[in-house]
Amino acid sequence: MARAHAIVLGAGMSGLLAARVLADHYGRVTVLERDQLGRTPHNRRGVPQGRHVHGLLPSGAQVLGELFPGLLDDLVTNGGTRLDDYSRLHFVPDGEHRLSPRLQVESIYQQSRPFLESAVRQRVLALPNVHVVDGCDVVGLATSSGRVVGARAVQRGRREEVLSADLVVDAAGRGSRTPSWLAEMGYAKPTEDKVDIDVRYASRLVRLAPGSVPETLVVIGASAHRPVGMALAAYEDNTWMFTMTGYGPAAQAADYEGMVNQAAEFAPAHMITALREALPLGDVSTFRFLANRRRRYDKLRRFPAGLLVTGDALCAFNPIYGQGMTIAALEAAALRDCLRGGDTRLARRFFRAAEKPVQVAWNMAVGADLALPYVSGARPLSMRLINAYVGRLLIAAQHDPAVAARFLRVSAFLVPPSRLMTPLMMARVFSRRGTVSTEVRRERTGSVGIAQVDAVGPEREVGSPTGAG
């Protein structure tokens, strides 16, 4: 296959990251985007989720830093927030047990989705061989002899055009039409894994009184007793995103006052006071996310040459866990590795490689959803045992920064989930009763400090003598 021209459908995060990788391997890369894209950060129709809290997990940030050297520092220089001091993280994954604020892991970069996407887009636009065409609706694929040879697109006010390409990458998000296009070409559609969740979001960008919330990132999940959770994130330019999340229609607040009232049932009082006194910077936006959905392109026996699928078009997870952009980044890294390996059976190799991070994210998202009573679905014994263990681990993680750090690094895709279950980690998890009672005794006698747990720096990996587990 020649590598003269690649087309990317969609200039969301996965499309931009795919374009960046393709630019190293193709003479020209054209990104076709339906929305009009400006030069400054703004919300747009094709990415309605940009109006809601959008966390970038540390492993996603690492890939972005590799693909765009200097980007992460520039985000901070231009007004974004870098969370290095984890005492400023208030993270209650299961809605009941706050991770120890003494944990220390990789930095978290906090900024709005439009701000991040715009920064990435400017860098992609600066690549000499990448061209982004906005206001351009892709209506189909161009095909010949069972392979994809380009895309059919309509630019505003013009007739349909066929653009030829050696490779087309579908990064058009949850509304991807590749399954139907495959059927039109005589190929089977991919099967879908789907878990219905009916998650509701309500969000508003606000300005808080300076110093009223010392934390910079607050994430409190839903619990088995409460279908509602919240997030409050310091963004660029002293703005904050306040988001309420919940399972089912009863969890959806009607307005801002309703959102704050919901949060008041479980969030610390200083946050509620700050939110009541906040200056609104826009309306309340809502979003409904119906299902975790994974399209199994990796399982198709026949797939046309000249076509790949990435990002939410491949798999979209419950957004509460903040995985989507990071998985898009890990898929871009997988694409880079596959392209380095040549063109033979590219689609098969890419779908298999992408499936690795997707599978981990899927297991984490679906496992966490099915730990809650609001989500229906089969709960095999293995899942129930893992969820029971994670529940126990989160109790330990309140007081043990090593356990908290390990949980966070697994959630952020920095280390595999198996690292939660090393013998040393399990020992820490199950020894908590003794440690907790020691802490309680110390507190009662007025002594501060927790002698049995050590504050941890960035965790060492497998084989490290100082690794926690």
Ligand X SMILES: Cc1cc2nc3c(=O)[nH]c(=O)nc-3n(C[C@H](O)[C@H](O)[C@H](O)COP(=O)(O)OP(=O)(O)OC[C@H]3O[C@@H](n4cnc5c(N)ncnc54)[C@H](O)[C@@H]3O)c2cc1C
Residues that bind ligand X (CB under 6 A): 9-15, 32-35, 46-47, 49, 52-55, 137-138, 171-173, 175, 201, 287, 289, 311-313, 319, 322-326, 328
Nearest-5° Cα angle at 182, 180 to 188:
100
Report the C-alpha gap between 404 and 398 in whole angstroms.
7
Least distance (Å) between residue 85 CB and ligand X: 21
If the CB atoms of residues 372 and 412 are measured against ligand X, the closer one turns out to be 412
Helix runs in 207-343, H state only: 256-264, 269-276, 324-340
CB of 442 to ligand X, least distance (A): 37
Q: Residue 287: name the closest of 8, 17, 447, 50 by CA.
A: 50
- Please give the Cα distance from 171 to 194 (Å, whole number): 20
Q: Please state, in angstroms and rounded to a whole number, the distance separating the CA atoms of residues 54 and 311.
A: 15
**Of 227 and 469, which CB lies nearer to ligand X in the complex structure?**
227
Closest CA to 370 of 357, 382, 355, 359: 382
Q: Closer to ligand X by CB, 175 or 249: give it.
A: 175
Q: Please check whether residue 38 is in contact with residue 181, taking contact to mean a CB–CB distance below 8 angstroms.
A: no
Q: Is 46 or 417 the residue whose CB approaches ligand X more closely?
A: 46
In angstroms, what is the minimal distance from the CB of 326 to ligand X?
5
Instruction: Return the closest-CA partner of residue 454 out of 464, 465, 468, 436.
Output: 468
Q: What whole-number distance in Å separates Cα of residue 324 and Cα of residue 289?
A: 13
C-alpha closest to that of 326 among 44, 67, 14, 48: 14
CB of residue 260 to ligand X, shortest distance in Å: 19
**Least distance between ligand X and beta carbon 335 (Å):** 13
To the nearest whole angstrom, how small is the minimum distance from the Cβ of residue 163 to ligand X? 12
The angle formed by the CA atoms of residues 340, 345 and 349, to the nearest 5 degrees, is: 65
Nearer to ligand X, 329 or 403 (CB): 329
- In angstroms, the CA 230 to CA 242 distance is 8
Residue 260, CA atoms < 13 Å, CB-side half-sphere? 16
Nearest approach, Cβ of residue 374 and ligand X (Å):
17
Closer of 138 and 267 to ligand X (Cβ) = 138
Nearest-approach distance from CB 282 to ligand X, in angstroms: 15
Nearer to ligand X, 55 or 93 (CB): 55
Give, in order, the Cα–Cα distances in Å from 100 to each of 88, 117, 176, 233, 273: 11, 31, 40, 18, 24
Residue where the block lists tokens 């890939």? 63
Indicate the residue among 312 and 459 with the shorter CB distance to ligand X. 312
